[in-house]
Structures are given as structure tokens and as C-alpha cells.
């Protein structure tokens, strides 16, 4: 069969950033495969994953760029911020240094993405409560001060992983609905794909109405 | 470069020979201004017309032109006598008119083509006449190094000798027009310029007086003849330097820098988004490319580059073209160029697509005319999620039986999205692809790969 009409109506581009070893690749794997990858090697440069989700009845394809946290790749991974609609900024709640570096990750994100990019802060490895090095309150305050969405999650148990990716998408979708995000802007990180040729799903009111209506 | 005003006493005119073109005798006039020489040819009739105008408007005495003769004007002896007489005539006229240089005389001897002052006069007229049109249309203007050299020379030191002219030269219209241009093109040459001994590429010029805002393009030039290319650093968006003597990127981006082994913040080309350095002698992409940190498009076609290096700091790079170079292996490209959308490596010596397997943002890949022979070497492209345009013509692989089907099959469900060699797959092709994949599944005893469907159903 040919590719024909797309089975989703939007593509959102995400990046996952943060220090090495905080669990970026594991979060992606958990999200796309529903599995924990215990022995995940360091990412070299970049990895990639996709999944189709649904927000307000709209099918949305997430294209997720998982960047390498190692310092030596910083130059090349910076290029991936361009055109990201969502940025998941990850630290490891058991390693304070990864939290301390957030401000520099945030600076990069603000400098290299556009104002409408949704930034979501994830405190990963929350299954390791005993080794906690950063309190929930502290990180939560940091997020609030900087206007970020925030959860603590675990790529191992899957806690809050789904939520982080979906909340980000909802926020982006909202921005489209109320016109804060311009679909036609070159670097918006969002592409609109009409699900049937010659017929465009215009706006939110239409959402949820399936394509095969028989009128 | 000629300057009558500066060489009043070293200016001479001779008519050394004659030449016949389609039955008409032309007198070959040789003008020397200092070191500069050029020739112009005119037939008698043109002398006659010139003379009449000079007599009427510039007080030249009527009787000094050798007279007309209708019959027997083809004999060698007659022509020889006339040649001498015309030579004397021009010499007399020059002495008489060299302070005032009326336009008819200037144009008769091509001073408006080769002489700084008269050439600028001509250019000024052209600019005044065309400015409205140019500024309201392409905003593009092409100049020769000669014109730019003349502008530089004139601004360095105007010509007091010419102040008494009826309409002394005023560069206003030229500079005014240049300041409103989007794009200035300069085309040089290493040969003699027209009928003169002027070599364009031996003329230096300065770009500072011209406020170029957007695009500067040069072709066939010697970089060392351009002063203050660096003055364009902050304003230029697009720079095209083609067919020059540049051996390295540093020769261009650090043209005005003495100590080239370090990069200084002040050397950055902040506005530059497109850089075209095609047809030079570059052997590598050197470190200095980082000075153009905002580049979106880099074109390095027709050089001698053998590997892709030093691009990782160009975060905005979307388009890279290195056609017709010496690239054989490109290793782990995703660690070198990251987020690029369009890559053109046509006409190199690439045998495999392995290096591209993680260029996940790639939308367009041109590998035409390389050395890829096996379909097997293309499988690394099959996971690129955004790829839409793929060109492979001119590789051996494109001549094998069922080439299109085999390549398209690599892309599985996405086969329909791939425009292969500028052609979208036809329905019969897609049907064949489906049959082939189904057969393969049966042969390998696996259930079809559900990776995609699975993700659809996850919710
Ligand atoms: N206990 C626990 N371990 C985790 C969790 N997430 C990741 N890990 C472990 O942390 C280590 C690093 O995880 P990765 O996902 O490879 O880290 P990364 O951020 O992708 O690292 P780079 O690719 O180098 O940037 C691995 O050994 C994982 O098993 C988690 O939620 N809980
Ligand atoms: Mg990783």
C-alpha cells in the first residue's frame, strides 16, 4: 500500500537534554517501548525515536531527538535545539551536580530555541529515594521561578514518564490553539499534516470528530 | 589603470597601422597614458564626423583634417599618406583639447573605458539613469575591479586638474546607489582587459566606501587585491567567493587578519547565513569556518576537499553542498554536522552510506555520481525518518535490475514518501515493493515488523 493519507495530523519535534548519565535515553526508551533499558550505553551524538500520541482527539506524531550529554558532543548537539517545539530537560535526583548544571542547560535552551518552545524539567531516577540528593521542593521552586513544567519521574519504573511527554504535547497543542505558536514559522518545530488529502482539519472544535463521517 | 589628469605629459597618440575589415579601411589608433596602452579603430568617416562636431562646438579649426577623397582612396600609397595625416591631426587635437576633454573626443578615443576619471563619469551617468529601476527591482549591480579601483583611487585623491571642467565628477550617484543595493557582484579576469594592457586582477580596490548590506559576490578575482573585505563582516548575509586564488577558508574569512592561527571574536561574520566558496583551491574545511557561526547554508562545490571537518560549531547549518570534491569516506557524520536537512555530496568517491545512518534530520540527500555499487550499502539510509529526496543516479547501483524497487523497499512503510532520483514512486512500483517485503517476511519466517503500528496502538 502507498503511504497515502497520514495517520496523524501533526508532527511535534522534541529534544531531550541534560548531563550524561541522567537517564535521557532510558526515558526515551521507556516512552517509546514501555521498557527499562538497564544497560544503556552512552549516546554518541544523537539518537532518535518516534511515537504517535493523542491530544484532544488529534493524533500527533512525536519526533524525539535524544542528545548526548557528554561534554565533547556539546557543540554538535546544540544544533538540535533549532526547531524544537518541546525540550525535556533532565537531571538525576541522586546526583546534585546534574541539578547544578541546569541553569547552563536552560541558558542554551533559551538561546537556541524560540520563545514558544515548551520546556519541561524532569527529575529522573525517583525510584532511588534513598540516594536522593536534590529535594522535590527545591527543584519545584527552580522550575516555578523559570516558568518550567516539572515532574519527578523514573525511567526504571515508568512513573510519570508518559505524563512528561504528554503534558508537553498538550502545552504545545494549546499554544497552537490560541495562536501563540505560528505553524508557518520556519523553526516552530510543529508540522501540520492533513490526515486526508484535500481536506484539512482546521481547528480544535473539529478535534475528536473522526475522519470517516458519512455525511 | 589610466589617468590622463595624472599623466598629462606622458600621454601620446599614434596610428601605427591600418587594417581592412569588409572592404573598409580602419585606422588603428594607439593611446598611451603613462604605462597604460590601448587601441581603438576608426574609419575615415568617423574622423570626419568627430571633426565636424569639434569644429562646431569646441572651436577646432576647420582646415586641419586631411580632406575627403572619393576616388582612388584604396591605393596603398594614399592610405599611408592619410594615416600619417590623421595621426598628426589627432596629436594636434589632443594638445588643443587636453584641458577640456569634450565628451565626443573622450568617447572617440575610449577614454571612458580605460581612464579612471572618464570611466567614473560614465558610471555616474549610468547610475543616475538606472538607480530608480535597480532600487525598485533586483537591487543588484555588477561592477568590474576597474570601476571599483577607480572609485578607490578617486576617493583617495580627487583630481584638482579637472575642477575647471563644466561638469566636474561627482561620485554621489554611484555611492548613493551602492548604499541602496542588496547585492553587489564583482567579476574580474586575469587576461588583458578589452583592447588594453590593463589586467583587472592586478588592480586593488577598497570596499569600505560601498555600504554593501546583503550580498557580495565575487568571481575570478585575486583576494589579495581587495582591501577591507573585512569591513563587510557585520553587514553581510551572503558571501560568494568563486574562482579565486583562495587556498583555504581562512584566506577568505580572515582576509585581513595577520595572525591567522588564532580566532578572535572580532573576526566573526555575525550576519552571514550563506557562504559559497565554490571553484577555489580549498583542500580542507579549516577551523576558521567557525567565524561564520550563524551559517545556514555552506557551499563548497568544485574544490579539493577530502573530508568533512570543523562544522560542529555551526548550530544553524541546514544545508551543506560539497559537490565534485575528493570525499571518499565520511565517518560518523552525525557527530560532525548534527541537525542538517540537506546534504549534497554529488560527484565524489563515496562507496557506502554508512556515515549517514544517524543524520536523523536529513530531508534531502544527493549522492549522485559516486561509487556506490551495492544496494546493501544503502540500507543505512532506511531509518532516516525525515528523508524525502534521494538521488543516486550516476552510481553503478542505479544500473542494476529493479534498482528503484530494491532501493524503495529499504524504506518499508515510508517508500511512498521517498522521491528517488527526482521521481516519486509510481503505484505499480509501490505494489511491487509491498509484494517483495511480504515475500521477505515469509522467507525469514518473521511476522511483519510492527514497530510503527505498535506505536500507533500504544494509547
Ligand atoms: N535506577 C534508575 N536508573 C536509571 C534510571 N534511568 C536511567 N538509569 C540508569 O542510568 C544510566 C544512564 O542512563 P542513560 O539513559 O544512558 O543516560 P543518558 O542521559 O542517556 O546518558 P548520555 O547518553 O551519556 O547522555 C543507565 O545505567 C541506566 O540504567 C532510572 O529512572 N532509575
Ligand atoms: Mg543517552
The answer to whether A47 contacts B358, with C-beta atoms less than 8 Å apart, is yes
Q: What is the pLDDT of residues B39-66, one digit of tens each?
A: 999 999 999 999 999 999 988 888 889 8
Give the confidence band of B439 by pLDDT, cuts at 50, 70, 90.
confident
Give the position, in ligand 1's atom list, of the atom nearest the Cα of A18: 19
- Distance, in Å, from the CA atom of A84 to the CA atom of B264, rounded to the nearest integer, reads 31
- Atom 1 of ligand 1: nearest residue by CA position: A125
Residue of B nearest to A45 (CA): B335
**Domain residues for B96?**
4-109
pLDDT of A127 above 90: yes
CA A68 to ligand 1: nearest atom:
25
3-class secondary structure, B29 = strand
Verify whether the Cβ–Cβ distance B316 to A2 is below 8 Å: no
Q: Quick one: pLDDT at residue A211?
A: 39
Angstrom distance (rounded) from CA B456 to CA B115: 75
Say yes or no to pLDDT of A86 above 90.
yes
How many beta carbons lie within 10 A of that of residue B46, not counting itself? 14
Give tens-digit pLDDT for B92-142.
Answer: 999 989 888 999 999 999 999 999 999 999 999 999 999 999 989 999 999
- Assigned CATH for A10-196: 3.40.50.300
Is B12 inside any structural domain?
Answer: yes
Contact B360 A46 (CB under 8 A): yes
pLDDT band at B457 (very low <50, low <70, confident <90, very high): very low
Chain A positions in Cβ-Cβ contact with residue B315 (cut-off 8 Å): 75, 78-79, 81-82, 112
Q: Is the pLDDT of residue B448 over 60?
A: no
Contacts of A47 in chain B (CB under 8 A): 358
Measure the CA–CA gap between B100 and B337, rounded to whole angstroms.
63
pLDDT at B446: 58
Whether A42 lines ligand 1, by a CB cut-off of 6 Å, is: yes
| DSSP helix/strand/coil, B3 | coil
Strand locations in B277-351 (E): 297-299, 319-321, 342-344
Name the residue with the closest Cα to ligand 1, atom 3: A125
Distance between first and last Cα of chain A: 26
**Complex prediction ipTM:** 0.77
pLDDT in tens, A23-71: 999 999 999 999 999 988 999 999 999 999 999 999 999 999 999 999 9
How large a percentage of chain B has pLDDT more than 90? 69
A152 lines ligand 1 (CB under 6 A): no
Phi, psi of B57 (to 5 degrees): -105, -15
Residues of A in contact with B340 (CB under 8 A): 79
Mean pLDDT of A165-179: 95
| Three cell numbers written together for B451 | 514497530
Q: Is residue B44 part of a domain?
A: yes
Residues A148/A119, Cβ–Cβ less than 8 Å = yes
| pLDDT value at B356 more than 80 | yes
Asked if residue B244 has pLDDT above 50, the reply is: yes
Using a CB–CB cutoff of 8 Å, tell me whether B224 touches chain A.
no
Of all residues in chain B, the one with the smallest CA distance to A186 is B318
Closest by CA position to B200, among listed B190, B208, B185: B190
In chain A, domain spans = 10-196
At residue A173 the predicted structure's pLDDT band, cuts being 50, 70 and 90, is very high
Place of cell 572609485: B151
The answer to the question of residue B120 being in a domain is: no
Contact residues, chain A, for B459 at CB < 8 Å: 53-54
Question: Which of B294, B450, B458 best tests the A interface by mutation, with the highest count of A CBs <10 A?
Answer: B458
Mean pLDDT confidence for B298-304: 98
**What confidence score (pLDDT) does residue B61 get?**
86
State how far the Cα of B233 lies from the Cα of B214, in Å rounded to an integer. 11
Asked if A214 is an interface residue toward chain B (Cβ–Cβ < 8 A), one would say no
**Domain count of chain B?**
1
Length of chain A: 215
- Per-chain mean pLDDT for chain A: 88
Burial level of B80, CB count in 10 A (0-12/13-18/19+)? Answer: exposed
Residue B70 lies in a domain: yes
B179 within some domain: no
- At B179 the pLDDT is 87
Confidence of residue A207 (pLDDT cuts 50, 70, 90): very low
Its pTM stands at 0.86
Stretch B260-278: mean pLDDT: 90
> A25 alpha carbon to ligand 1 midpoint, in Å?
7
Please name the member of A51, A80, A81 whose beta carbon is closest to the beta carbon of B455: A51
From the CA of A17, how far away is ligand 2's center (Å)?
9
pLDDT at A210 over 70: no
Contact B430 A2 (CB under 8 A): yes
Which chain A residues are within 8 Å of B415, Cβ to Cβ? 3
Higher pLDDT, B98 or A137: A137
- List of residues 6+ apart from A77 with CB closer than 8 A: A17, A45, A46, A67, A68, B338
Among the ranges given (A75-79, A149-153, A197-201, B214-218), the one the predictor scored with the smallest mean pLDDT: A197-201
Q: How confident is the model at residue A204 (pLDDT cuts 50, 70, 90)?
A: very low
The mean predicted confidence, pLDDT, of chain B is: 90
Q: Is A127 in the pocket of ligand 1 (CB under 6 A)?
A: yes
Q: How far is it, in rounded angstroms, from Cα A168 to Cα A1?
A: 33
Amino acid at each position: 500500500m502507498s503511504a497515502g493519507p497520514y495517520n496523524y495530523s501533526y508532527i511535534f519535534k522534541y529534544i531531550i537534554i541534560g548531563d550524561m548519565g541522567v537517564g535521557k535515553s532510558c526515558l526515551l526508551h521507556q516512552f517509546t517501548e514501555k521498557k527499562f533499558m538497564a544497560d544503556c550505553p552512552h549516546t554518541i551524538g544523537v539518537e532518535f525515536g518516534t511515537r504517535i500520541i493523542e491530544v484532544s482527539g488529534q493524533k500527533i506524531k512525536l519526533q524525539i531527538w535524544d542528545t548526548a550529554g557528554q561534554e565533547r558532543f556539546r557543540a554538535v548537539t546544540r544544533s538540535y535545539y533549532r526547531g524544537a517545539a518541546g525540550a525535556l530537560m533532565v537531571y538525576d535526583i541522586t546526583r546534585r551536580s546534574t541539578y547544578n548544571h541546569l541553569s547552563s542547560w536552560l541558558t542554551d535552551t533559551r538561546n537556541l530555541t524560540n520563545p514558544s518552545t515548551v520546556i519541561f524539567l524532569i527529575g529522573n531516577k525517583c525510584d532511588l529515594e534513598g540516594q536522593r540528593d536534590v529535594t522535590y521542593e527545591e527543584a519545584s521552586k527552580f522550575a516555578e521561578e523559570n516558568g518550567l513544567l516539572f515532574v519527578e519521574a523514573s525511567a526504571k519504573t515508568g512513573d510519570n514518564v508518559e505524563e512528561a511527554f504528554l503534558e508537553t504535547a498538550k502545552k504545545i497543542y494549546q499554544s497552537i490553539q490560541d495562536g501563540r505558536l505560528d505553524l508557518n514559522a520556519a523553526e516552530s518545530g510543529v508540522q501540520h499534516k492533513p490526515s486526508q488529502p484535500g481536506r484539512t482539519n482546521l481547528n480544535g472544535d473539529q478535534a475528536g470528530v473522526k475522519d470517516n463521517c458519512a455525511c | 589603470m589610466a589617468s590622463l589628469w595624472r599623466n598629462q605629459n606622458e600621454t601620446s597618440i599614434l596610428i601605427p597601422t591600418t587594417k581592412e575589415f569588409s572592404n573598409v579601411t580602419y585606422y588603428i589608433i594607439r593611446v598611451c597614458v603613462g604605462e597604460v596602452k590601448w587601441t581603438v579603430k576608426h574609419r575615415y568617416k568617423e574622423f570626419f564626423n568627430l571633426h565636424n562636431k569639434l569644429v562646431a562646438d569646441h572651436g577646432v579649426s576647420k582646415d586641419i583634417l586631411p580632406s575627403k577623397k572619393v576616388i582612388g582612396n584604396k591605393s596603398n600609397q594614399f592610405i599611408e599618406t592619410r594615416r600619417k595625416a590623421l595621426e598628426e591631426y589627432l596629436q594636434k587635437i589632443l594638445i588643443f583639447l587636453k584641458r577640456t576633454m569634450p565628451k565626443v573626443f573622450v568617447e572617440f578615443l575610449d577614454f571612458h573605458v580605460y581612464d579612471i576619471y572618464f570611466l567614473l563619469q560614465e558610471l555616474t551617468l549610468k547610475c543616475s539613469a538606472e538607480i530608480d529601476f535597480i532600487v525598485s527591482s533586483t537591487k543588484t549591480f555588477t561592477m568590474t575591479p576597474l570601476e571599483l579601483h577607480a572609485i578607490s583611487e578617486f576617493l583617495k585623491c580627487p583630481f584638482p586638474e579637472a575642477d575647471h571642467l563644466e561638469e566636474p565628477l561627482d561620485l554621489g550617484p554611484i555611492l548613493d546607489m551602492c548604499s541602496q543595493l542588496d547585492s553587489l557582484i564583482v567579476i574580474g579576469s586575469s587576461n588583458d582587459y578589452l583592447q588594453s594592457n590593463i589586467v583587472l586582477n592586478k588592480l586593488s580596490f577598497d570596499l569600505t566606501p560601498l555600504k554593501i548590506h546583503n550580498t557580495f559576490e565575487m568571481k575570478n578575482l585575486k583576494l589579495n587585491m581587495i582591501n577591507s573585505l573585512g569591513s563587510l563582516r557585520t553587514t553581510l548575509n551572503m558571501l560568494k567567493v568563486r574562482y579565486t586564488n583562495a587556498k583555504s577558508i581562512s584566506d577568505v574569512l580572515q582576509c585581513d587578519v595577520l595572525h591567522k592561527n588564532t580566532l578572535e571574536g572580532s573576526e566573526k561574520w555575525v550576519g552571514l547565513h550563506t557562504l559559497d566558496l565554490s571553484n577555489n583551491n580549498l583542500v580542507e574545511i579549516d577551523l576558521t569556518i567557525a567565524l561564520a557561526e550563524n551559517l545556514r547554508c555552506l557551499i563548497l562545490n568544485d574544490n579539493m576537499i577530502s573530508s568533512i571537518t570543523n562544522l560542529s560549531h555551526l548550530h544553524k547549518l541546514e544545508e551543506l553542498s560539497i559537490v565534485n570534491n575528493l570525499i571518499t569516506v565520511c565517518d560518523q557524520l552525525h557527530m560532525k554536522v548534527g541537525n542538517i536537512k540537506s546534504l549534497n555530496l554529488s560527484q565524489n568517491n563515496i562507496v557506502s552510506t554508512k556515515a549517514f545512518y544517524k543524520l536523523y534530520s536529513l530531508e534531502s540527500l544527493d549522492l549522485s555520481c559516486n561509487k556506490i555499487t551495492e544496494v546493501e550499502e544503502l540500507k543505512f539510509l532506511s531509518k532516516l525518518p525525515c528523508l524525502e529526496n534521494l538521488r543516486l543516479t550516476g552510481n553503478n547501483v542505479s544500473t542494476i535490475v529493479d534498482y528503484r524497487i530494491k532501493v524503495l523497499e529499504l524504506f518499508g512503510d515510508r517508500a511512498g514518501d521517498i522521491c528517488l532520483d527526482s521521481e516519486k514512486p509510481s503505484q505499480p512500483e509501490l505494489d511491487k515493493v509491498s509484494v517483495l517485503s511480504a515475500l521477505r517476511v515469509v522467507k525469514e519466517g518473521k511476522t511483519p515488523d510492527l514497530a510503527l503500528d505498535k506505536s500507533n496502538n500504544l494509547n
